[in-house]
Chain A
C-alpha cells in the first residue's frame, strides 16, 4: 500500500517538474489565497482581542439599571428624582435577585455650586462618583496602590477616596498619593488607593469615551457623597450578573423589585455588557466573513488555474494515457494519478501560503503587540482546504483522462 502511494506520488512529481513554469503560477494562486484567508483570520482575531481587552475593563457581566426618563406618561414625567433611593437599594442588596452576583449604588457628584478638587496648590477636574464597596470588583477596577474600600468605609461615611491614575497624577504628581489629603469643595478626603490605568484606545478611536474617562475618576463612599449633597438618591445601579448569559435576567429581576417599590411613579430600563458584546461580535464576524469571501476569490482563481493546467496536461498526455492503459492501468489508476498531481500542486501552494500567512501574523503580532500566532486549527483548515481545492479542481480533468478509450488515446496526434 505504501509502495503504491510512493509510486503514484513520484509520478505526480515528474509531471509537475515537466511543466514547472505554469505549475508555479497555479501554486502561487493557491498560496496567495491561503495566505490571504489566514491574514484575514489573524486580523479579525487581533480586532477581537483589542476590543475585548477594552470591553473587559467594564466588567463583561456588567448590568446597568436606571430610571427611564423617556417615558411619555405626563403623570410620571413631572416627578423629580432618580427613581432609586437608599430604601430601594436596601431591598436590592438583600439577596432579592438570584442572577445578580454583586451590586453597587452609583451617585453622581451633582453639587449645586461647583466643588473644586484641590490638594494644596494642585487641582483636578476628575469626575467624582459615590460608590459602594463592591464597585471596583464589578467594574474590573484594579487597585494597584493602597487598598480597596472596606464595608466600614461605607457604613461609617469615612472621608476616604480611591483615585484614577490621571486624578492622582494631577493632584500629587509623581509622588505616592496614598495617605495624602485633598479637598472636594470644603470637605477633606484621605487617599487610600490608586487604580490601574485602563486602555480606551479603541473606544476613543470610534469616538466614544465609554461614558467617562475611566482614568480620571475619584471614587468615594456613596454614603458620604449623599451626606454632602443632602439627599438619599442613587443615580443608577451597576450590578454584575452571575454569568454573561444571565445578564438579561439579572436586569429584569432588579427592575421587578424596583417596580414593586415605585412602579406607580417611575419606570426603569437597563443596559447590559452582554448586548454590547453580542453586537460587537456580530460586527466583527461580518467583517471577517467579507474578508474571507474576498480572500476566497483568490483561492477560486488558484483552483481554476489548477483545473486549467490539468486539462492542458490531460490533452497533451493523451497518448501517454493510452499507453498506460494499454500496459494495464485501470481507470482508477489514471484517475488517481491526475488527482494526485492536482493535490500535490494545491498542497504545495497551501504550504507556501501557510508560511507566508504565518510570517504575516508574526509581523502583525510584533507591530501590534497582540498574541496572534496562527493556531493549529488554522493550519489544519488551511491544509484541508488546499487538498480539497486540488481534488475539486483536478477531478473533472482526471475523470476525462480516466475515461479515455485506449485505442483512440493511442491514435491521438
Chain B
C-alpha cells in the first residue's frame, strides 16, 4: 500500500536549512492501522503530510497503491488525494457557512459526481458515522465529537483505501476520543488502511502498529 524509501525532507528558515526527515524507509501493507508517535519536532506530522500526498519530498521515493507519487505534479497529487486518501484533522476543518451534508459532499464536487448521487452518498456516509440526523446543521451547531464524525464522513465519502489522521482526538475529551477511535477500529476492520499521528499512548493503543520517530528517523517500529 505505502512504500517509502530513504525519504529526506528539510525546511528552509531564512539562511538555515532544518532537516526534518533524515532517511525514512517504511512499508505499510493494505489493511494496517498505524500510529505514528514522537516528541514535537520529531517530524511525525511532516511524515504524515508526505504519506497523505500533501507535501513533496526532497529525496527518496514514495509509491502509493503501486503509483509513484514523489515526482507527481500538483494537479496529479490533487487527483490522488481525491480518489485514494481521506483526511481527518485535529481541528476538523469543516467549512463554517455550509451544512454538514454539503461539507461531506465537498470531495465529490472535485470528482464530478452528479448532485443527486452526491447527496445520496453523503447521507449514507453520515449514517455510517451515526450523525445523519444533524445533516442540515451548520458546524457551529455541532459538538466537537459530532464535528469530527462529520469530518470522518467527509474523509470516507469517496471510499478511499487510505485514511490519514493528524491528532484526530486532540481537540476532544477522552470519552469522545475513545468513541472516535472505536469508529476508526470499525473502518479498519472493514478494510481501510489507517495512518494516524498522535501523542497520546492511550489513543495509539487502538492501532495495531506503533512507529516512534526521533530527530527525523524511525526509532522503534512495534506490532504489524
Contacts and interface: CB of A to CB of B under 8 A. Distances in A.
B18 to A, nearest CB: 15
**Interface of A, helix, strand, loop or mixed by DSSP:** helix
Contacts of B29: none
A328 B87 contact: no
Interface in A270-327: 319-320, 322-327
Contact of B82 (A6, A322, A328): A328
Interface stretch (A37-45, A46-54, A199-207, A329-337): A329-337
A88 to B, nearest CB: 84
Given A4-B112, A407-B49, A327 B97 contact: no
Interface string B147-161: 000000010001000
Contact of A328 (B55, B97, B107): B107
A349 interface: no
Contact of B74 (A6, A17, A326, A331): A331
Nearest to A413: B91
Nearest to B91: A319
Nearest to B83: A328
A325 to B, nearest CB: 7
Nearest to A411: B45
A329 to B, nearest CB: 5
Measured as residues with beta carbon below 8 angstroms from the partner, the interface class of chain A is: 20 to 34
B68 interface: no
Nearest to A19: B97
A326 B98 contact: no
A168 to B, nearest CB: 77
A327 B87 contact: yes
Most buried by A among B55, B75, B82, B106: B106
A328 B98 contact: no
A407 B55 contact: yes
Contacts of B78: 325, 328-330
A14 B75 contact: no
Interface in B147-183: 154, 158
A118 B4 CA distance: 116
B110 A323 contact: no
A364 interface: no
Interface centre among B54, B98, B158 (most CB of A within 10 A): B54
Contacts of B83: 328
Nearest to B79: A328
Contacts of A328: 78-79, 81-83, 107, 110-111, 158
Nearest to B114: A3
18 contacts: A4-B112, A6-B115, A15-B97, A18-B97, A319-B93, A320-B95, A322-B93, A324-B106, A326-B52, A327-B87, A328-B78, A328-B79, A329-B110, A406-B54, A406-B55, A407-B49, A407-B54, A410-B54
Interface of A: 3-4, 6-7, 14-15, 17-18, 319-320, 322-333, 406-407, 410
The 10 A-B pairs at the shortest CB distance, nearest first, are namely A328-B82, A328-B110, A327-B107, A323-B93, A330-B78, A330-B75, A18-B97, A406-B54, A326-B87, A407-B55
